[in-house]
Amino acid sequence: MSSLAQLQKDFLSCLQAPLNSKDRLQPSRIGGRWIKSEIKPNSRLTAVDRIEIYARQYWFRILESLYDDFPGLRALMGDQEFERLIRRYIEKFPSRSYTLRDFGTRLPPFILKEKRAYKDKSALFYQMATMELAQLHVYDEKEESPLTAKHLGARPLLCRLRISPHVRLMALDYPLDEWQLKLNQGGVREQLSNGVLDRRLKSKCRALVGAIKKERIYLAVHRYQFKVYFKRIEPWAFELLTAFDQGISLGAAIEKVMKQNKFKDAVSAASVQTQFQEWSAMGWISLRKSKK
Amino acid sequence: MPANRFNNFTNYGIGIGLRVPHYDHILTEKPTVDWFEIISENYMQEGGRALHILDQILEQYQVVQHGVSLYFGSKERLNRTHLKKLKDLVKRTKTPWLSDHLCWGSVDGTYSHDLLPLPYTLDAAKNAAKKIREVRDYLEIPIAVENVSSYAEFHSSEMTEWEFLTEVVERADCGILLDVNNIYVSSQNHTFDPRDYILGVPHHRVAQMHIAGHSKYERFIIDTHDHPVIDPVWELYDLAIQKVGPTATLLEWDASIPSFQEVHDEAKKATRYWKDKDKAAQKKKRAKK
A53 and B CB contact within 8 Å? yes
- Report the CATH number at residue B250: 3.20.20.150
Distance between A34 CA and the closest CA of chain B, angstroms: 12
Long-range pairs, B80-88, Cβ under 8 A, ≥24: B82/A98, B83/B135, B83/B138, B83/B139, B85/B44, B86/B40, B86/B44, B86/B139, B87/B138, B87/B139, B88/B44
Q: Which of B75, B82, B189 sits opposite A8 (nearest CB)?
A: B75
Q: Which domain holds residue B23?
A: 5-288
Q: Does position A189 have pLDDT exceeding 80, yes or no?
A: no
Residues in chain A closer than 8 A to B123 (CB atoms)? 3-4
Cβ atoms B250, B211 nearer than 8 A:
yes
Check residues B240 and A289 and name the one with the higher pLDDT.
B240
* pLDDT of the residue at B283: 65
Residue A234, φ and ψ in degrees, nearest 5 = -70, 155
Q: Does position B1 have pLDDT exceeding 60, yes or no?
A: no
Q: Which of A5, A39, A143 sits opposite B47 (nearest CB)?
A: A143
Reference B155, options A1, A154, A242, A239; nearest CA is: A1
Check residues A223 and A193 and name the one with the higher pLDDT.
A223
One-letter amino acid of A89: Y
| CB spacing of A141 vs B104 below 8 angstroms | no
Q: Does position B162 have pLDDT exceeding 90, yes or no?
A: yes
Sign of torsion over alpha carbons A213, A219, A221, A224 = negative
Provide the angle, in degrees to the nearest 10, between the axes of the packed helices A122-139 and A176-184.
70
Calpha distance B165→B176 (Å, rounded)? 8
Integer CA distances (angstroms), A95 to A30, A130, B30, in order: 19, 18, 38
* Mean of pLDDT over chain B: 94
* pLDDT of the residue at B45: 93
Per-residue pLDDT, averaged over A104-112, amounts to 96
Per-residue pLDDT, averaged over B183-187, amounts to 97
Name the domain count of chain B.
Answer: 1
Size of interface A-B (CB pairs under 8 A): 115
Integer CA distances (angstroms), A231 to A134, A170, B27, in order: 13, 10, 30
Cβ atoms B247, B241 nearer than 8 A:
yes
* pLDDT of the residue at B100: 98
Share of residues in chain B with pLDDT > 70 (%): 95
Q: Does position B206 have pLDDT exceeding 80, yes or no?
A: yes
* pLDDT of the residue at A203: 77
Q: Which of B46, B109, B190 sits opposite A42 (nearest CB)?
A: B190
User: A59-71 pLDDT, tens per residue?
Assistant: 999 999 999 999 9
The model's confidence at residue A3, banded by pLDDT at 50, 70 and 90, is very high
| CB spacing of B110 vs A94 below 8 angstroms | yes
Cβ atoms B221, B180 nearer than 8 A:
no
Cβ atoms A131, A176 nearer than 8 A:
yes
A33 and B CB contact within 8 Å? no
Distance between B200 CA and the closest CA of chain A, angstroms: 23
Among A residues 117-156, those touching chain B with beta carbons less than 8 Å apart: 139-143
Per-residue pLDDT, averaged over A265-290, amounts to 89
B155 and A CB contact within 8 Å? yes
Distance between A206 CA and the closest CA of chain B, angstroms: 30
* Mean of pLDDT over chain A: 90
Per-residue pLDDT, averaged over A112-117, amounts to 82
User: A25-42 pLDDT, tens per residue?
Assistant: 988 887 778 899 999 999
Q: Which of B108, B116, B154 sits opposite A40 (nearest CB)?
A: B154
Per-residue pLDDT, averaged over B60-72, amounts to 98
B24 and A CB contact within 8 Å? no
Q: Does position A134 have pLDDT exceeding 60, yes or no?
A: yes
B46 and A CB contact within 8 Å? yes
Q: Which helix (H) or strand (E) holds B250?
A: strand B249-252
What chain A residue is nearest to B190 in terms of C-alpha separation? Answer: A42
Residues in chain A closer than 8 A to B69 (CB atoms)? 98-99
Domains of chain A with CATH codes: 1-63 (no CATH), 146-174+215-292 (3.90.930)
Cβ atoms B153, B116 nearer than 8 A:
no
Residues 6+ apart with CB under 8 A from A87: A18, A59, A63
Residues in chain B closer than 8 A to A57 (CB atoms)? 114
* pLDDT of the residue at A277: 92
User: A142-171 pLDDT, tens per residue?
Assistant: 988 888 888 888 888 999 999 999 999 999
Q: Which of A11, A38, A39 sits opposite B116 (nearest CB)?
A: A11
Q: Which of A40, A45, A57 sits opposite B219 (nearest CB)?
A: A45
Write down the ipTM of this complex.
0.93
Range scoring the smallest mean pLDDT among A178-182, A286-290, B103-107, B271-275: A286-290
